[in-house]
Amino acid sequence: MSTITKNPKESFTIMNELVLPNDTNTLNNLMGGRLLHWMDIAAAISAQKHCNNIVVTASVDNVSFKHAIKLGDVITIEAVVTRAFSTSMEVRLDVWAENIPSGTRIKSNEAFYTFVAIDADGKTVAVPEITPESEIENKLFEGALRRRQLRLILAGKMKADDATELKALFFNNN
């Protein structure tokens, strides 16, 4: 881990996109793959702002589509690094869909993406630590280790018995 620390707000990124006909399916709804693409871009920008390095996507957590996004809506994607590990960072994304003529705005999606920082040769590099400042930042920071352990178990990179943070949620160690 790097000795440098940063606050989450230093990685905060807002990205806007207008949903055009080429972005939609036959129901005039935004295609999920297009939204995931935009989310990946916003999350990568946030991670790069945090570590000042090239980053690659390591994982995408479950993404649920809560509300259809329609042709002509403006998408706002907010991304922020919630926690940094030695070479990886978890990025939280919130997606909003706004119909400007009607003045309506709804939260459509939220997700966590994980990125790894690399150098020009493709080797992993250390990333700055995160120092959360607000109650929300602290909550996201604390939950990040559990989410990370779950990702590693699902990827076959960690045994469930080694996931101490996850086990603490389900078992009382008294």
For the segment 154-170, what is each residue's pLDDT rounded down to a tens digit? 677 667 666 666 666 66
From residue 33, give the alpha-carbon distance in Å to each of 13, 30, 65. Answer: 21, 9, 11
List pLDDT tens digits, range 28-71: 999 999 999 999 999 999 999 999 999 999 999 878 888 999 99
Cα 153 to the center of its chain, rounded Å: 19
| Domain ranges, residue 99 | 5-131
Return contacts of 141-147, CB within 8 angstroms, 24+ apart. Answer: 141/82, 141/83, 143/82, 144/82, 144/83, 144/90, 145/83, 147/61, 147/90, 147/112
Residue 111 forms part of a structural domain = yes
Q: What is the pLDDT of residue 37?
A: 97
- SS3 of residue 157 by DSSP: coil
Q: What is the pLDDT of residue 133?
A: 95
Domain count for the chain, please give it: 1
Provide the pLDDT confidence category of residue 120 given band limits of 50, 70 and 90.
Answer: very high
Backbone φ and ψ for 19, nearest 5 degrees, come out as -80, 110
Least confident residue range of 12-16, 107-111, 140-144, 168-172: 168-172
Residue 121 forms part of a structural domain = yes
Residue 117 forms part of a structural domain = yes
Residue 42 forms part of a structural domain = yes
CATH number at residue 59: 3.10.129.10
Residue 155 forms part of a structural domain = no
* Burial of 115 (C-beta count, 10 Å sphere; 0-12/13-18/19+): buried
How many residues are given for the chain?
A: 174
Q: Which two tokens stand for residue 152?
A: 């590693």
Q: What is the pLDDT of residue 145?
A: 84
Comparing CA positions, the residue from 75, 78, 92, 89 lying closest to residue 32 is 75
pTM over 0.85: yes
Residue 122 forms part of a structural domain = yes
For the chain, the average pLDDT equals 90
